[in-house]
Amino acid sequence: MWGIDFIPPTHGKTGKPIIPDINDETTFSDGFVSIPYIYKLGFKPRSEKYKKLIERSYEDSQAEWQVLGLKNDER
């Protein structure tokens, strides 16, 4: 979270950010265990330095997964 800005979706007509209301019934599921519904959100590195650091950390973790015999994340 230190290296990423979260970008909310914007309203098509007003251009204002769409922020879910945590008190709204349509934001969370019903039931004994309540979970939030999917919310479209964008991610943007805060700087080129952070982008490179995040990419390098990802590559390092993928290399460690291979050593453990695990499948790489192909997303």
Q: What is the mean pLDDT for each group of 10 consecutive residues in the chain (75 residues)?
A: 91 91 80 85 94 93 85 73
22: helix, strand or coil: coil
In a domain, 17, yes or no: yes
In a domain, 72, yes or no: no
Task: State residue 71's pLDDT score.
Answer: 80
In a domain, 73, yes or no: no
In a domain, 51, yes or no: yes
In a domain, 74, yes or no: no
> Which residue range(s) make up the domain with 55?
4-67
- For the chain, how many structural domains are there in total? 1
In a domain, 18, yes or no: yes
Asked whether the beta carbons of 9 and 19 are under 8 A apart, the reply is no
Tokens encoding 9: 């979706």
In a domain, 61, yes or no: yes
pTM over 0.85: no
Tokens encoding 2: 């230190």
In a domain, 28, yes or no: yes
